[in-house]
Amino acid sequence: MIEDFLHRLEAATPHATVTGTLIALNLLVWLANLAGGLSPFLPEAGELLAWGGNLLPLTQREPWRLVSAMFLHAGIIHLAFNMWALWNVGSIAERFYGNTQFALIYLLSGLFGSLASLFFAARTAVSVGASGAIFGITGALLAAILLKRDKLPAPLVASMRSSLFMFVGYSLFLGFTSGVVDNAAHVGGLLSGFALAWIMAEKFDWVDYRRNAVSRALVAVGAAIAAAFILWQLLPARPAL
């Protein structure tokens, strides 16, 4: 039963091209960082800021940093862990939601992760990394197995539930105990990815997807834009640099 389900998913989305493209973009940005003189292991905060890191006083003047920070990483270990996680959850989520919806979930969740960080870590420190977006697609997978588990093979739901909860739980615990992980970006990405996927149509529910995918995706994007605008207005007063 699982094999048949996976075969149908692969037939609906033959290639996880967006996942591969996102990994390539992150790697290319990191290589450009190295060519620009950044340390491969522990780059300085000021250097990451110069490349587009997320920090409240600058991001309020230059909102493009909400996106650019998603493609920056604080060293090779940070990059490797995030790309490993992206490959593992991305290749599944992209087939659950299709190439276009997956790209929207990734980018919008990353945006909300950056916005959430501005209320916490990025108020006073430079925040970078793809983890907000990765938590977003993790949230999208959780939405699928929790809200539409009756449309999925039970053994697959059980396996995914345990692995996803373990990944989220361990990552959040590490963030709360280490003091160097931006948990606000993780939670912001996770919740936004779950909400976006709740609105969007999944490809494993082919009838619903064929009828409603475009309209539901437009509703999800519209709701995300409205929510992002509200959060932007609620940002704390810009501190002095």
User: 131 an active-site residue?
Assistant: yes
Residue 7 designated active-site: no
Catalytic residue among 109, 114, 186, 192: 186
Indicate the angle between helix axes 17-35 and 76-97, nearest 10 degrees. Answer: 160
Report DSSP letters for 145-205, one per residue. HHHSGGGS-HHHHHHHHHHHHHHHHHHHHHHHHHSSS-HHHHHHHHHHHHHHHHHSPPTTS
Nearest Cα neighbor of 94 from 105, 81, 85 is 105
Query: 42 to each of 33, 70, 199, how far by Cα in Å?
Result: 12, 17, 39
Contact 112, 38 (CB under 8 A): no
Structure-derived torsion over alpha carbons of residues 77, 79, 85, 88, reported in degrees to the nearest 10: -110
> Chain-centre distance of CA 104, in angstroms?
10
Catalytic residue among 131, 159, 162, 163: 131
Longest alpha-carbon distance in the chain: 59
- What is the end-to-end Cα distance of the chain in Å, rounded? 58
Quote helix, strand, coil % in the chain, to nearest 5.
75, 0, 25
Catalytic residues: 131, 186
